[in-house]
Amino acid sequence: MLNISILLNNINMNKKIYNTLKKKCINAESRLNLATESLAEKLQPYFKDEIDVLYQPSDGFVVLVLNDVPSHEEAPPNLPIDEVFKTITDKPDFYLS
């Protein structure tokens, strides 16, 4: 009997840990989404096309130019955020043409 109660306590504790970690992940995702939306709003005046800022594990933060798609089969270009910032700093009208 003791083994069953220990097992049940471990399951309940693991469920609590799981729920806590899941809640932290959801909160972190929400903060990330708010931050990238805010960044996109700040960068939008420098682009003629609509943009979005995303975090991609392989590329880091990128600017996605939504209306700059040559055909429906190709994905919009992803521009590294550091490269975009440097370009805007050097030539503010670069992405407006």
Which tens digits make up the pLDDT trace of 28-79?
Answer: 999 999 999 999 999 999 999 999 999 999 989 999 998 755 666 666 678 9
AA letter at 26: I
Distances 42 to 31, 35, 45, 85 between C-alpha atoms, Å: 17, 11, 7, 11
Q: Decide which of 10 and 26 is more confident.
A: 26
Cβ contact 47:96 at 8 Å:
yes
How many residues in the chain?
A: 97
Instruction: Give the span between the Cα atoms of 95 and 1, in whole angstroms.
Output: 70
Based on the structure, what is the number of domains in the chain? 1
Domain that holds residue 86: 2-96
Q: Has this prediction a pTM greater than 0.85? A: no
How far apart CA 77 and CA 69 sit, in angstroms, is 8
Choose the weakest-confidence range: 15-19, 27-31, 80-84.
15-19
